Structure 1
Amino acid sequence: MRTLAFDGRMGASGDMILAALLDAGADRDVLEPVETALDLEYRIDETVKCGIASTTVDVILTDEDAARTEGDHGHVHDHGDPDHHDRGDPDHGHVDDRGDDDHDHGHVHDHEDAPGVPAEGHGPHRSYLEVREIVEGMELDPAVERDALAIFELLGEAEASVHGEDLAEIHFHEVGADDAIADVVGAAALVDDLEVERVVTTPLATGGGTVGMSHGEYPVPTPAVVEIAERASWSLRGGPVDTELLTPTGAAILGRLADGVESLPALELEASGYGAGGYDLDPHPNVLRTLVGDGGREFLKDDIAVLETNLDDATPEVLGGLQETLSDAGARDVSIVPATMKKSRPGHLVKVICKPEDRERVARALAEETGTLGIREAGATHRWIADREFETVELEVDGESYEVTVKIASDAGGDVYDVSAEYDDAARTARESGLPVREVLRRAETAIEQ
């Protein structure tokens, strides 16, 4: 299983995640929709942190008029405002996720004469709903858009919980600005480009000490990071330095994309990358490391939510379209079971499996498509899933070759326990070759087993 692993021993921030993914081989071109939509540029450079050659990413506003629109920077930050303080800034000043641009990165930028200003501290602040509208207008790949929206929903829920407000009422400060949108959408696009089947992270270091906020000095991890961690599957650990290492943006990106593991998994490595933070934390290299490779065969613990509703008036056309509609909203699986309703009326039980962070969006789509008046959440919290691989076999019939895809399922020890030919391929081959479908299925599965 192709796996992307984050080494969380020095925490994570949005720009460090971008840099590490690019350094590991993700294609910079997938960031172009964000640059076009927001009039900004990702400027990519190199630096050295404690002897480790690393990549840096700065988000630069290219529209000078937009850059001068700084929003309400005279406001006082509440303690729940994600990412209003720097990741790794020893003075905890009011700077963004990537550090103060006036400090010495340890390298010389090639862009000193290029137009534009750093996006940090510039551009408008936006509400959660405004951020959603911007992301939805970027015409992203559906999977990338889903992940980006879910990350902002996680950030919004964290801030809403800290403030005691509703998600729809939340007005982002720093994480509603252009640079934060660039971090979130960019990370979702780069992970998608790497075409991995699994993303994991080791326990994320939070740092230590305190960080100055409007209501006083707060301990690290900050309130927003704590709220996000409660909703994530990975764990936190303190240290190794007394400064903030894990920002809310970094936590939210990994909270959506990564499963938690106690240590780096066994990988047949294909690539690695290092994304640098702004400040030097000698003797600790201020970098986020990523590893990409084949993680072998194992059952995975997949956190899920299960939604159910009973329908007694849905038409066959509506039921037939639910798979596609709900999948677009984030559903992982949809089952429709015939049932007997009250007064012995025939009906259907609809069961939907989705990620916990997608449940509200999936529930809304289910209600709108079916008109149901109530959706309940079942008690399941996770499922165990096998490693699945797909191989194509060639079958020869009367001198003609036909390709059939076969799905192979393996257990935790790497032993194959199920081989299933894809029915659509088998049906096509049967029509063209004149063989029965059952015979095509048998020959394809036997070819794999042998």
Structure 2
Amino acid sequence: MRLLTFDGRMGASGDMLLGALVAAGADPSVLAPVEDALDVTYRIHEVDKNGIMATSVDVLLVDTDGGDPRGEGHDDDHRTTEEQSDGDKSDTEDDGDGAAVHEDQNRGADESRTHRLRGDLAAGHGGERGHSGHNHHHDHSDHHHDHSHHDHAHAEGHGPHRTYPEVVELVESMDLPAGVVEDATAIFRILGEAEADVHGTDLDETHFHEVGADDAIADVVGVCLLLSDLDVDRVVTAPIAVGDGEAAMSHGTYPIPAPAVLNVVERADWSIRGGPVEAELLTPTGAAILAHVADGVETLPSVSVTASGYGAGGWDFPDHPNVLRAIVGDGGSRLVRDEITVLETNLDDATPEILGSLQATLKDAGARDVTILPATMKKSRPGHLVKVIVRPEDVERVAYRLAVETGTLGIREHGAGHRWTARREFETATLDIDGEEYDVTVKVASDADGVVYDRSAEYDDALEVATKTGLAVREVMRRAVAAVASDDDPR
């Protein structure tokens, strides 16, 4: 299995993801459809981050008339990198949801870390890529389709503030593979729902702010194109650092992570951690991309590395290279490794009603599975052993729920371990019974290579159909599984 792993201990943003994917071997020429559709260009070059050569990606406006594409008054963006690094602060602040402040780490920040710097904050420009283990090499040193750097201005915030339907329409109008369109629109839906939730508005009416501008669209669609080019079977990420401190927004100062980032993280499979520095390290765009494409792992998985690379962020810290690492290789098992803890307790006075309700109440609290076994207690009294599988981050909540539901005086924890699980997808079987159509959900289990080894119909759906039709429950389940298996058969 070809596996892509992100190591986000210094956060993630759209431009960092672009840089990491190019550095890990993705071909930047696949970005051409975005450049054609938006009149932007990707400037890809190498920078030095605390002794680590990393790939930096800037989204620049194409200068089509020989002047500044934003009109007069913006000559500062055509200065040299060294001059820009001295630090003009952007006057762009957030609208209150955290989607604008520090949208891309590669825009930099002032000492208070409440505004972004415009310009290219690269610590260095030249140098060939020096990452070991690359299985193929693309010449992307200072790649920008033969345009002079001084003919461009940064695309940061450029373009209209689009609604979600407008963003979808724009993406669908690009000359993109169908899978890239699907991934990009799904990522923008995550961003749109997060912004709508924060503001209490409707998704279709909510205007994206900077995440709907040209550079953010270039980030999202660009990452999807590069991922498609890498052609990996699975993407995972270790816990992502969000940073620490506060961020200034138009409605006040908020703790990091900003509201929009936190809302996106709620939808993700992976976890976050604070620190290691006082700065905003995880942006809404970076969070949304990873929420859609990546599964969470607690530690870097076992893998035979074939390529690796580093995407540069805009912050510079004395003790922490601000980079996002990407590792590509063959590895992982055909099943998914899921970090777990096992809780258990002995009960000798629980009623059948209480025991029967534990499946629902403990799963509502975060339990992954609940098993109740008969047991013989002291003095030969009949009792039960309750075993609960739970993720490490949910242990305290589930243990407390188990205690208050059962009245137990003690709960044992077996420590963090792991279990191997199948990939699970849910398909809908439509059954025609006596001229009426009925839907039954079927759970499909497969390994990491996509080989299906089990299908099972959901009992509650089958029971409902059986009640309405007079068929046996097991007959409804058999027909549903057969229907899904037939649909999945490529012959």
> What TM-score bracket applies, with the shorter chain setting the length?
0.5 to 0.7
Correspondence for 1:80: 97
Query: Residues 246 and 256 of structure 2 are in contact (CA less than 8 Å); yes or no, is this contact kept in structure 1?
Result: yes
Give the TM-score, by structure 1 length: 0.67
How far residue 387 of structure 1 moved from its aligned partner, in angstroms, is 2.7
Correspondence for 1:188: 224
Distance change (3 Å), C-alpha of 1:220 and 1:124: same
How far residue 114 of structure 1 moved from its aligned partner, in angstroms, is 4.0
| Aligned equivalents of 1:141, 1:230: Cα separation in 2 | 29
> For residue 119 of structure 2, what is the amino acid of its counterpart?
D
How far residue 125 of structure 1 moved from its aligned partner, in angstroms, is 2.2
Asked whether 1:338 is paired with 2:427, we answer no
How far residue 169 of structure 1 moved from its aligned partner, in angstroms, is 1.1
Asked whether 1:276 is paired with 2:312, we answer yes
Asked whether 1:265 is paired with 2:265, we answer no
Correspondence for 1:388: 449
Correspondence for 1:367: none
Structure 2 residue aligned with 1:347, among 430, 436, 444? Answer: 436
| Aligned equivalents of 1:212, 1:26: Cα separation in 2 | 36
Correspondence for 1:50: 50
How far residue 186 of structure 1 moved from its aligned partner, in angstroms, is 0.3
> For residue 61 of structure 1, what is the amino acid of its counterpart?
L
Aligned-pair Cα RMSD in Å: 3.0
Post-superposition CA distance 1:281-332 (Å, at most 9, x none): 1210000000001123232389xxxxxxxxxxxxxxxxxxxxxxxxxxxx97
| Aligned equivalents of 1:136, 1:273: Cα separation in 2 | 30
Correspondence for 2:32: 32
Query: Residues 191 and 264 of structure 2 are in contact (CA less than 8 Å); yes or no, is this contact kept in structure 1?
Result: yes
| Aligned equivalents of 2:10, 2:93: Cα separation in 1 | 29
Distance change (3 Å), C-alpha of 1:261 and 1:83: farther
Write the mapping of 1:379-418 to structure 2, written as runs, cut at 5 A.
385-388=446-449
Q: Say which is worse superposed, 107-116 or 190-199, in terms of deviation.
A: 107-116
Correspondence for 2:11: 11
Aligned residues: 332
| Aligned equivalents of 2:303, 2:100: Cα separation in 1 | 33
| Aligned equivalents of 1:112, 1:282: Cα separation in 2 | 32
Asked whether 1:144 is paired with 2:165, we answer no
> For residue 346 of structure 1, what is the amino acid of its counterpart?
G
> For residue 105 of structure 1, what is the amino acid of its counterpart?
A
Asked whether 1:135 is paired with 2:171, we answer yes
Post-superposition CA distance 1:329-374 (Å, at most 9, x none): xx9764434254xxxx432334578xxxxxxxxxxxxxxxxxxxxx
Distance change (3 Å), C-alpha of 1:94 and 1:166: same
Distance change (3 Å), C-alpha of 1:181 and 1:352: farther
Correspondence for 2:476: none
Post-superposition CA distance 1:84-124 (Å, at most 9, x none): 335363433443xxx53164533369676541211014333
Distance change (3 Å), C-alpha of 1:94 and 1:176: farther
Write the mapping of 1:219-230 to structure 2, written as runs, cut at 5 A.
219-230=255-266
SS in 1 for 2:151: coil
Query: Residues 49 and 285 of structure 1 are in contact (CA less than 8 Å); yes or no, is this contact kept in structure 2?
Result: yes
| Aligned equivalents of 2:298, 2:208: Cα separation in 1 | 33
> For residue 96 of structure 2, what is the amino acid of its counterpart?
H
Q: Say which is worse superposed, 120-129 or 136-145, in terms of deviation.
A: 120-129
Correspondence for 2:245: 209
| Aligned equivalents of 1:7, 1:53: Cα separation in 2 | 16
Query: Residues 67 and 122 of structure 1 are in contact (CA less than 8 Å); yes or no, is this contact kept in structure 2?
Result: no
| Aligned equivalents of 1:102, 1:179: Cα separation in 2 | 14
Asked whether 1:91 is paired with 2:112, we answer yes
| Aligned equivalents of 1:197, 1:263: Cα separation in 2 | 19
Query: Residues 445 and 453 of structure 2 are in contact (CA less than 8 Å); yes or no, is this contact kept in structure 1?
Result: no
Query: Residues 67 and 123 of structure 1 are in contact (CA less than 8 Å); yes or no, is this contact kept in structure 2?
Result: no
Query: Residues 69 and 123 of structure 1 are in contact (CA less than 8 Å); yes or no, is this contact kept in structure 2?
Result: no
State percent identity of aligned pairs.
53
| Aligned equivalents of 2:304, 2:13: Cα separation in 1 | 27
Correspondence for 2:275: 239
> For residue 219 of structure 2, what is the amino acid of its counterpart?
D
How far residue 81 of structure 1 moved from its aligned partner, in angstroms, is 4.7
> For residue 51 of structure 1, what is the amino acid of its counterpart?
G
Query: Residues 388 and 409 of structure 1 are in contact (CA less than 8 Å); yes or no, is this contact kept in structure 2?
Result: no
| Aligned equivalents of 1:102, 1:338: Cα separation in 2 | 59
Structure with higher Rg: it is 2
| Aligned equivalents of 2:92, 2:281: Cα separation in 1 | 25
Q: Say which is worse superposed, 143-152 or 104-113, in terms of deviation.
A: 104-113
> For residue 101 of structure 1, what is the amino acid of its counterpart?
G
Distance change (3 Å), C-alpha of 1:69 and 1:154: farther
Correspondence for 2:125: 107
Distance change (3 Å), C-alpha of 1:115 and 1:142: same
Post-superposition CA distance 1:53-99 (Å, at most 9, x none): 110000011045794289xx99973211513335363433443xxx5
Distance change (3 Å), C-alpha of 1:346 and 1:68: same
SS in 2 for 1:205: strand
Write the mapping of 1:297-316 to structure 2, written as runs, cut at 5 A.
297-300=333-336
Query: Residues 46 and 54 of structure 1 are in contact (CA less than 8 Å); yes or no, is this contact kept in structure 2?
Result: yes
Query: Residues 46 and 53 of structure 1 are in contact (CA less than 8 Å); yes or no, is this contact kept in structure 2?
Result: yes
Distance change (3 Å), C-alpha of 1:232 and 1:173: same
Query: Residues 64 and 116 of structure 1 are in contact (CA less than 8 Å); yes or no, is this contact kept in structure 2?
Result: no
Post-superposition CA distance 1:167-223 (Å, at most 9, x none): 011101111110000000000111111111100000000000001111111100000
| Aligned equivalents of 1:155, 1:144: Cα separation in 2 | 17
How far residue 386 of structure 1 moved from its aligned partner, in angstroms, is 1.2
> For residue 219 of structure 1, what is the amino acid of its counterpart?
P
Distance change (3 Å), C-alpha of 1:103 and 1:113: closer
SS in 1 for 2:306: strand
Post-superposition CA distance 1:248-307 (Å, at most 9, x none): 0000000110011101100011100100012211210000000001123232389xxxxx
How far residue 146 of structure 1 moved from its aligned partner, in angstroms, is 0.3
Correspondence for 1:158: 194
How far residue 8 of structure 1 moved from its aligned partner, in angstroms, is 1.3
Query: Residues 67 and 119 of structure 1 are in contact (CA less than 8 Å); yes or no, is this contact kept in structure 2?
Result: no
SS in 2 for 1:179: helix
| Aligned equivalents of 1:275, 1:152: Cα separation in 2 | 22
Correspondence for 1:68: 70
Distance change (3 Å), C-alpha of 1:3 and 1:54: same
Query: Residues 83 and 249 of structure 1 are in contact (CA less than 8 Å); yes or no, is this contact kept in structure 2?
Result: no
| Aligned equivalents of 1:349, 1:301: Cα separation in 2 | 35
